A and B are shown apart, each in its own frame.
Chain A
């Protein structure tokens, strides 16, 4: 395949929409062509920008209420109408079907939006408690070392993946150690960093989906959290540090 053909296919390739045969051909081309590889990288960075939650419009709560009320009303009207006319929809004949349908629709609507948010809240709570626990129980570190070449091998055999370990001493965030933790139902690596008197716990575990996600900040009980992911790993950083410095840490960490 030449570059022109690749340019046609690269979007579908980036979206995982090509069949195996074409995927392999694009793979081969990308390995040898820095220009097309750069094009693919530009698509990835565009997608990660677009995946920013801030670009999604949130449903105004007034509208939410209005629709809920309107569907309930329509359900009522419909079940009354059924008494007079034997409807053209034979299966709607039974009274209560309309209400069931309304409930199903509302349920569907809720089901589409709630799980993600709930999962987010749960993770924020879980990560924050892990962080607090690590400080409270005096169990911050299983391996205390400022040397990444001591910390990284320590995880070998204790986890089913090799977490990336970096020291940011020069940038003012020295690595102080590592520990095993358990997050989101699976073992995770916790890397511990210092910032003056503050402690940063960085949780690392293999990503569930293969996309990258830009850092997003959250707050819980006065702690700040930043999550992000690359195609291999999911990361959550948590600290009592202010949000700005924590984001700086994340930026330095993912850039180094």
Chain B
């Protein structure tokens, strides 16, 4: 259930909606248990959570997702110069949390499944219903954006 809640919370962005989405998804999982045809139960459960969360997102906010992060606009930090410096601000966990929340939902979803839940690309592709190539590009875009935000000086961080 922790994996389900964690994903719902990251996707919806607030406690109350995460509660609703998790509960709805788990009840649905229960009701459609007959639809479970073997495989990894965690991935199956997360697929349902993800579907519920996106349904919720579509119902509640249609406009917000239109602003995609633009590498050109924000410039990308030259991380190769000093990779340790690139995470200068990462020591503060709240900063990292905010940086993840700034990601577009699709990128955030891929990143949370990969880094926090330890899912493989194949599992993420199944859960999100996209090809593995898309998973790969979402993960790399998510990481690049995080690195850029986390390596920027604090006052600029708000602009991203």
Contact = CB atoms under 8 A, between A and B. Distances in A.
Interface residues of B, number: 49
B136 interface: yes
B13 to A, nearest CB: 11
Interface of A: 8, 10-12, 15, 17, 35-36, 38-39, 41-43, 45-47, 49-52, 54-60, 63-64, 66-67, 70-71, 74-75, 78, 89, 91-92, 101-102, 104-105, 108-110, 112-113
A60 B4 CA distance: 12
A38 B114 contact: no
Nearest to B118: A51
Contact of A49 (B1, B27, B87): B87
A15 to B, nearest CB: 7
Contact of A57 (B9, B93, B140): B9
A46 B77 CA distance: 14
Given A15-B114, A38-B80, A105-B29, A46 B143 contact: yes
* Chief secondary structure at chain B's binding surface: helix
Contacts of B140: 8, 10-11
A92 B27 CA distance: 17
Contact of B83 (A41, A59, A64, A92): A41
Nearest to B100: A55
A74 B30 contact: yes
A54 B82 CA distance: 26
B130 interface: no
B55 interface: no
Contacts of B150: 46
B115 A47 contact: yes
A35 B80 contact: yes
Nearest to A111: B41
B97 to A, nearest CB: 6
B90 A46 contact: yes
A42 B147 contact: yes
Nearest to A113: B2
25 contacts: A11-B136, A12-B136, A36-B80, A38-B79, A42-B87, A45-B83, A45-B84, A45-B87, A46-B87, A50-B96, A51-B115, A51-B116, A57-B5, A57-B6, A59-B1, A60-B5, A63-B22, A67-B26, A67-B27, A70-B23, A102-B30, A105-B26, A109-B26, A109-B45, A112-B42
A67 B83 contact: no
A56 B86 contact: no
Contacts of B29: 105
B107 interface: no
Nearest to B15: A60
B26 to A, nearest CB: 5
Nearest to B139: A11
Given A42-B147, A67-B23, A67-B26, A104 B121 contact: no
